[in-house]
Amino acid sequence: MTTTLALTRAVSRSLSRCELTHLARRPIDLDRARAQHHAYEQALSALGARVVSLPEEPDLPDSVFVEDTAIVLDDVAVITRPGAESRRLETPTIARALAPYRALCTIEPPGTIDGGDVLRIGSTLFVGRSGRTEPQAISQLREHVAPHGITVVAVAVKGCLHLKSAVTQIDEDRVLVNPAWVNPGDFGLAWIEVDPDESSAANALRLGGSLLYPASYPRTRERLSRAGLTVLSVDVSELEKAEGAVTCCSLVLQV
């Protein structure tokens, strides 16, 4: 009997000093961000995950976005070397938290890769060549995962932070995609496009047969519901000001 574990980390008091690439800096209400993050964790629980929340890292502004620190597969986890230098100290605590559950390997300098650029579909890891993830690290990742029967395919992504800003898997057969940022045909599945007025709406977290999905994108949500998907909305608007979304706030693994 396996358990779905969702590893999260409390919102840092320094979140307002987060990295920003495509967004202008706006004031972030820290209390509200924490309340939203708490509700997000409750939603993970409601969808069947056992949430393990790591303590706050006061000096690491983006440390709530744990997805970027590791690529967790069935029997191995690859600890990343994040593309933003300010985020590199996030990884040792994540490695410690994952060590009881997975064999660990690491991306070494000069390679950089963010977990947000890695989309697993079956036995393929699609990896976005973004501003954070470069070819040297993609080669390292390929060598780490090949012995586990996993193939790495690099894909072009433009106009957004990470591959998973542009595309996520929403059920066995389909991805949700913004065609302005990534080629929808690259992933070998059928696709649903985001509403044209909701460019950042492609990030959905698939868990327990449902989708955890940001409340900010009602039109795309309507498309998902019409397509027969079960959607649980969460308000993550304060985290969105830090260029975060729903997949980035957890690492989900079977233990």
CB of 44 to ligand CIR, least distance (A): 16
Is 22 a catalytic site residue? no
Phi, psi of 129 (to 5 degrees): -85, 85
For the CB of residue 12, give the shortest distance to ligand CIR in the complex, in Å: 11
Pairing of strands 124-129, 151-156: parallel
Point out the residue whose Cβ comes nearest to ligand CIR: 116
- Supply 85's token pair: 């230098």
Nearer to ligand CIR, 1 or 24 (CB): 24
CB nearer to ligand CIR: pick between 13 and 227: 13
The answer for residues whose C-beta is within 8 angstroms of residue 164's C-beta and 6 or more apart is: 67, 116, 117, 118, 119, 128, 202, 203, 245, 247, 248
**Residue tagged active-site, from 37, 144, 160, 162:** 162
What is the signed CA dihedral for 167, 94, 130, 120, rounded to 10 degrees?
-40
Give the residues lining the site for ligand CIR (CB under 6 A): 18-19, 21, 62, 65, 67-68, 84, 87, 116, 161-162, 242-245, 248
Q: In whole angstroms, how close is the CB of 157 to ligand CIR at the nearest point?
A: 12
11 secondary structure, DSSP code? P
Peptide bond into 110 cis (omega under 30): yes
CB-wise, 67 or 171, nearer to ligand CIR?
67
Nearer to ligand CIR, 116 or 184 (CB): 116
The minimum distance between CB 75 and ligand CIR, in angstroms, equals: 23
Residue 248 a catalytic site member: yes
Integer angstrom CA distances of residue 196 from 45, 150, 200, 231: 32, 34, 10, 20
Shortest Cβ distance from residue 214 to ligand CIR (Å)? 12
- Minimum CB distance to ligand CIR smaller for 156 or for 190: 156
Among candidate residues 18, 160, 248, 249, the one labeled active-site is: 248
Q: Which residue has the tokens 């933003």?
A: 84
- E strand or H helix at 35, and its extent? helix 30-46
What amino acid positions are annotated as catalytic residues?
Answer: 162, 248
